[in-house]
Amino acid sequence: MGVPLGFPSSYSDPWLDLAGSQLLPKSSSPTPCGRASSSGSVGCPLNMCCSKGGFCGNTDSYCSVDQGCQSSVGPCHTVPPPQCNSSKRTASSGRSIGYYSGSNVHVRPCDIVRPQDIDVSRYTHLYYTFANINPTTFAVEQRPQDNDTMYRAFTALSRKSSTTTTTTRDGKRARPPPETWIAVGGGNFSSSPGSDTYTTWSDMASTAENRAAFVKSLVAFMEKYGFQGVDLDWEYPGIKAYGGASPDTEKLVRLVKDMRDAFGRRFGISMVLPHHKPYLMEYDLKALEPYVDSFGFMAYDLHGIWEKGSDGTGKVQGQADIREIGMAMTPLWSAGVDPAKINLGLPYYGRGYTLKSETCADLGCTFTGPSVPGKCAQSRGIMMLSEIQQLLGEGTAKSSTIPGAMMKKLTWSDQWVGYDDEDTMRQKTQWADGKCLGGVMYWSVDQDVHP
């Protein structure tokens, strides 16, 4: 795959596609607002504050009038996150979406998970990743590694009988078989400049004719295989480093409106959202909200090996620290998005490092490179939850909680992997209950100990 703009030229992460990943270049420059903008009067998207220096944000440093917030172009007050009594269990009893990467069957030497291996009792929805979009006709197509047999085995899960009472992360309760949806696009689809599909999303959404071709093909695709909905994984509209263009914000709204007009309530629609603020600013969330059933907030890959400096070292940080996740979600609340439409992303994998010193194995310690690969994922800097649990079972490594992060760390020798497990996912789901969120989503079920 190509290297996204802003990353070291030597950087390559084979999991960009497999992890539903958002390995975001931090060098992206936000569009200026207020006096710093070209007209001197441009406001911020998502109803954010415009700071004295002309930058958009949601914290006091952006929104305080005393610090120069520009009230002439937008609000100058912070918006608190929604609050719910956790006993309402809005997320715990809401959507439980499991992404399934069918390519695991072809790329792994072990821990292979086929559709029939998935424990359907744990999920309300299962998403198959990913289908492609033809860059010329804009028709939805299988990826080369997929086939009719895999698709039909997957959609058959929506008809699979479940026990009357099922064990879930939040207790025992009855749950019907999950809906099975197709996810379109993915991290690799638009990540390589010069590839056939680099600008396909933007091209497809640019005209009514192209959108109609996509929607018509998508309906036929879902009817053929029995999918009940579609998840749009456009990564990322409006971002030139990923084949986007400035009008993508409006084009995406037109696309989902066209889809809803064609679908009615026959098929579901969801889409993923990035945690990186400059990227999230390219989504007109309130305009999209009426047409989508839910938004999946990718609350993982906040940090990783790509953050190393010119000397090849960097500071250890957790890829899914709840403290940072809470901050990353603040644009959703300033935009006024209904929290019931938000699914909190939870990773079934960890990201890791090789430490400079075995005696310093905490957040903020120095790393010199990625962690060693697991025997099944075979990717440096990545470890599936199934591989982590195997190391713990063998006594090879030890696990401990990262205070305040709702994460755990796995350490052995000079290795450090930050990850989530049943305990931390339960904590995060309860956190989501307290924020009135409508559910959670897991990437990806084929990396779990018991899929």
Q: What is the DSSP string of 370-426?
A: EPPPPTTT--TTEEEHHHHHHHHHHTSSEEEEETTTTEEEEEETTEEEEE--HHHHH
Tell me the chain's radius of gyration from C-alpha atoms: 21
pLDDT of residue 449: 84
427 contact partners, CB below 8 Å, separation of at least 6: 322, 406
Closest CA to 224 of 329, 142, 319: 142
32 contact partners, CB below 8 Å, separation of at least 6: 42, 54, 55
CA distance 90 to 432: 8
Task: Write out the two tokens for 369.
Answer: 């490179």
pLDDT of residue 338: 99
The CATH code for residues 82-348+422-447 is: 3.20.20.80
- The residues spanned by each domain of the chain are 32-78, 82-348+422-447
Evaluate whether 105 touches 112 at the Cβ level (below 8 Å).
yes
Q: What residues of the chain score a pLDDT lower than 70?
A: 1-30, 161-174
Task: Write out the two tokens for 331.
Answer: 């644009």
Q: Which residues face 367 on adjacent strands?
A: 314, 355
CATH 4.10.280 for domain 32-78, yes or no, is: no
pLDDT of residue 19: 41
Closest CA to 295 of 279, 274, 322: 274
pLDDT of residue 139: 99
Evaluate whether 121 touches 169 at the Cβ level (below 8 Å).
no
pLDDT of residue 27: 41
Q: Measured between alpha carbons, how far is residue 20 from residues 282, 340, 373, 443 in Å?
A: 19, 22, 19, 7
Evaluate whether 306 touches 23 at the Cβ level (below 8 Å).
yes
pLDDT of residue 165: 44
Tell me how far the alpha carbon of residue 184 is from its chain's centroid: 13
Q: What is the pTM of this model?
A: 0.93
Q: Measured between alpha carbons, how far is residue 105 from residues 75, 100, 231, 382, 446 in Å?
A: 50, 11, 21, 18, 9
124 phi and psi angles, rounded to 5 deg: -90, -25
CA distance 52 to 387: 48
The owner of tokens 């839910």 is 294
